[in-house]
Amino acid sequence: MASIVSCFSKFCLTLFLLVLFHGSTNAKLSTNFYSKSCPNLLPIVKFIVHSAIMKEARMGASLLRLFFHDCFVNGCDGSVLLDDTSSFIGEKNAAPNRNSARGFNVVDDIKSTVEIVCPGVFSCADILALSARDSVTILGGPYWDVKLGRRDARTASQAAANNNIPSPSSNLNQLISRFSAHGLSPRDLVALSGGHTIGQAWCTTFRARIYNESNIDSSFARTRQRNCPRATGSGDNNLAPLDIHTPTYFDNSYFKNLIDRRGLLHSDQQLFTGGGPTNSIVRGYINNPRSFRSDFAAAMIKMGDISPLTGTKGEIRKNCRRVN
């Protein structure tokens, strides 16, 4: 009888561990993930993001870009936030991020504040997701319910960042291919590119376009040339707005710029080329700004689902810049 009880107990323990393992490694993101563990989380994040944007409107675009650059490199896992260590070279010094990725201090402020209220609960990866949404809404863009529950990576890859983040010099086929590799459609590509309705870019990212390309409005090119000399090394870090009309307000004027051949980056203008497969999407967003807002929100949710770490994978970092 004792042996039967012992055997049954072992069976129950094994079954429990299997269920626990299955549930923890297959955990899903949810919009109410922190509702019990940290109910004051959302207003804290929004307050800090709002304060940062009031100090510098450009910060909203920077936080949105951080989330994009995080998700496109091994998934939405907060790896872009990690500083280099003796064991790995991280993403901060990859070509798409070096001296241009911004907003790390805002993430630090959010993390340190939330750690006081809810220690060991809120992941850095989720900070990026929430701060991107709040940045967009604060600057006039759409609201969406952010799915949460991501955990943080314990490592990062500079090589992956160099290979996976689309370049400003990408052509349309390259953009479609790069987004498709992450499960994002051409419509997602155009909608997410509409995030360039806010923010600024360095001269180095658009110099070749304003001096060498023909698919560009001549007066627009001359305007940009005033602050971006032709010679490499001269004015490289000078900034220009990605949207010439409303650079600190989230609207659909970015797409109007493309039709007028006033896309700042080569990759921007590629979305509206002669006979290109994304032309009709661009026109649709001009004629129906509501559809752009809706598609942008849906694409952000979709992007946020790229390979998150959940359950027992990864960790909840105490400091977003380093592993525990």
**Residue located via tokens 């049954």:** 8
Mean pLDDT of 11-25: 42
User: Does 213 share its domain with 280?
Assistant: yes
User: What CATH number does the domain containing 270 carry?
Assistant: 1.10.420.10
264 inside domain: yes
Question: CB of 153 within 8 A of CB of 316?
Answer: no
Q: Report CA-CA distances (Å) from 253 to 98, 148, 199, 201, 263.
A: 29, 31, 13, 17, 11
| 26 pLDDT tier (thresholds 50, 70, 90) | low
Mean pLDDT of 113-136: 98
| 45 pLDDT tier (thresholds 50, 70, 90) | very high
Q: What is the DSSP secondary structure assignment for residue 82, as one 8-state letter?
A: P
User: Does 179 share its domain with 298?
Assistant: yes
User: Does 176 share its domain with 79?
Assistant: no
pLDDT at residue 18 greater than cutoff 70: no
pLDDT tens-digit series, residues 139-189:
999 999 999 999 999 999 999 999 999 999 999 999 999 999 999 999 999
10 inside domain: no
Question: CB of 155 within 8 A of CB of 86?
Answer: no
Annotated binding site for heme b: 196
Q: Report CA-CA distances (Å) from 182 to 28, 65, 99, 306.
A: 18, 16, 26, 7
8 inside domain: no
So what's the pLDDT on residue 6? 46
Active site residues: 69
Residue where a domain terminates, one of 166, 194, 223 = 166
Q: Outline where DSSP puts E strands in 92-242.
A: 200-202, 239-241
Can you tell me the distance from the alpha carbon of 286 to that of 137, in angstroms, rounded to the nearest whole number?
Answer: 20
User: Does 45 share its domain with 123?
Assistant: yes
| 274 pLDDT tier (thresholds 50, 70, 90) | confident
Question: CB of 161 within 8 A of CB of 73?
Answer: yes
So what's the pLDDT on residue 88? 83
- Maximum CA pair distance of the chain? 92
Can you tell me the distance from the alpha carbon of 164 to that of 155, in angstroms, rounded to the nearest whole number?
Answer: 16
User: What CATH number does the domain containing 46 carry?
Assistant: 1.10.520.10
Residue where a domain terminates, one of 133, 148, 166 = 166
Residue where a domain terminates, one of 117, 149, 166 = 166
323 inside domain: no
User: Does 104 share its domain with 204?
Assistant: no
Mean pLDDT of 34-40: 96
User: Does 205 share its domain with 106?
Assistant: no
Annotated binding site for Ca(2+): 70, 73, 75, 77, 79, 91, 197, 243, 246, 251
25 inside domain: no
User: Does 158 share its domain with 194?
Assistant: no
Q: Taking the CB of residue 94, how many other CB atoms lie within 10 A of it? A: 23
Q: List, as one string, the DSSP characters of 234-264.
A: SSTT-EEESSSS-TTS-SSHHHHHHHTT--S
Can you tell me the distance from the alpha carbon of 247 to that of 245, in angstroms, rounded to the nearest whole number?
Answer: 6
Mean pLDDT of 254-278: 95
198 inside domain: yes
Q: Taking the CB of residue 30, how many other CB atoms lie within 10 A of it? A: 12
Annotated binding site for substrate: 166
Helix (H, G, I), strand (E, B) or coil at 148: strand
**Average pLDDT value over all residues in the chain:** 92
Can you tell me the distance from the alpha carbon of 243 to that of 198, in angstroms, rounded to the nearest whole number?
Answer: 6
Domain assignment of residue 94, given as a range: 40-166
87 inside domain: yes
**Residue located via tokens 């563990």:** 37
User: Does 178 share its domain with 258?
Assistant: yes
324 inside domain: no
User: Does 178 share its domain with 299?
Assistant: yes
User: Does 139 share its domain with 254?
Assistant: no
Question: CB of 313 within 8 A of CB of 151?
Answer: yes
**Residue located via tokens 């900070």:** 127
User: Does 157 share its domain with 187?
Assistant: no
Annotated binding site: 70, 73, 75, 77, 79, 91, 166, 196-197, 243, 246, 251
User: Does 196 share its domain with 273?
Assistant: yes
Show Cβ contacts of residue 277 under 8 Å, excluding neighbours closer than 6 positions: 172, 176, 186
Give the chain's domain count: 2
pLDDT tens-digit series, residues 213-249:
999 999 999 999 999 999 999 999 999 999 999 999 9
Q: List, as one string, the DSSP characters of 114-128.
A: HHHHSTTTS-HHHHH
Can you tell me the distance from the alpha carbon of 242 to that of 82, in angstroms, rounded to the nearest whole number?
Answer: 27
pLDDT at residue 7 greater than cutoff 70: no
Gap between the terminal Cα atoms of the chain: 48
